[in-house]
Amino acid sequence: MESGSKGPGSLFNRNLVSIKQLDKGVIEEILAESERMLEIYKSNSRPNLLAGRIMASMFFEPSTRTRLSFESAMHRLGGSVIGFADPLSTSSAKGETLSDTVRIMSAYADILVIRHPTEGAITGALDSASVPLVNAGDGTGQHPTQALYDLFAIKKEKGRLTNLNVALVGDLKHGRAIHSLAYALAIFGNSLTLISPQSLKMPASMVADLERSYGIRIIQHDSLDQALNADAVYIPRMQKERFSDQKEYERVAAYYVIDKRFMAMAGSDTIILSPLPRTMEINPEVDTMKNAAYFRQAAYGVPVRMAVLKMILKGR
């Protein structure tokens, strides 16, 4: 299979491994299709656009929203789902390589949706796939469909995807959702405010690439106050499972907290986003505020993934 999309066109019969493989035109096409899928989603209809097609859901790492929204998306389009959520129940527990698993599953399904704990593992398995493959998160690497529905949420909440200042807060070192979203926002020429403890800064090579390749304005800071005037604040949890030093995790676990105090000082139009799940970085007291957009954001995962599956398997 060919990885990447060339020019403004559909995703038909292509892999989706990184947000960086998509240009602005393709992303706009996906978001437009997502609007159409949102209407189907809201109407609770079943259009059978992917009747007879099978998606293999292959999750080597825990997931709630990503796995179940992909499966919901496939069912809502009339397709079927096979797969696993526990690698210990598969032959990988016997030593089977990811490449061999991908080769076998390609014979059983029309599209593979894979999450893996190792960055780059999915890219490394591409040559073994004979059907399209979607990266559902690879370690600290990329999570392209998360970035797509983050963009969709921002557009729905703010009414635009350009001329925004977005604050990315917290663990910018390990967060694949953060990494993918940073590139997605850069593609649309937005400014980024990167807020993190020194030990969890976004990799310098990534910051340099964003500035060099897209010419965007990036500010780095360690104070949450720098996010008060942002158009959107994106704050994932501190990922305990990514820390080799648990004492370091305990030191930064509650380093930044969005609460009523923050919201009282923030701009009236500042929205709060998160890839979820949350631990302690967003106080539940914020949930009922109109600018708390993270649960609405999570719901958009279904129509956006409906759009991605439909465009890869059926085209426009």
Catalytic residues: 65-66, 94, 115, 143
Per the listing, tokens 């557009």 go with: 155
CA max distance for the chain: 55
- 13 contacts 5 by C-beta, under 8 angstroms: no
CA-nearest of 171, 168, 104, 181 to 137 is 181
* Beta-strand pair 218-221/191-195: parallel
Q: Which residues pair with 271 in a beta bridge?
A: 232
* Angstrom distance (rounded) from CA 184 to CA 142: 11
Per the structure block, which two tokens stand in for 164? 């925004």
Q: How many Cα atoms are found within 13 Å in the side-chain-facing hemisphere of 231?
A: 17
- 291 contacts 147 by C-beta, under 8 angstroms: no
With H, G, I as helix, E, B as strand and everything else as coil, classify residue 223. Answer: coil
CA-nearest of 123, 261, 242 to 178 is 242
User: What angle separates helix 301-313 from helix 65-76, to the nearest 10 degrees?
Assistant: 60
* Terminal C-alpha separation, the chain: 19
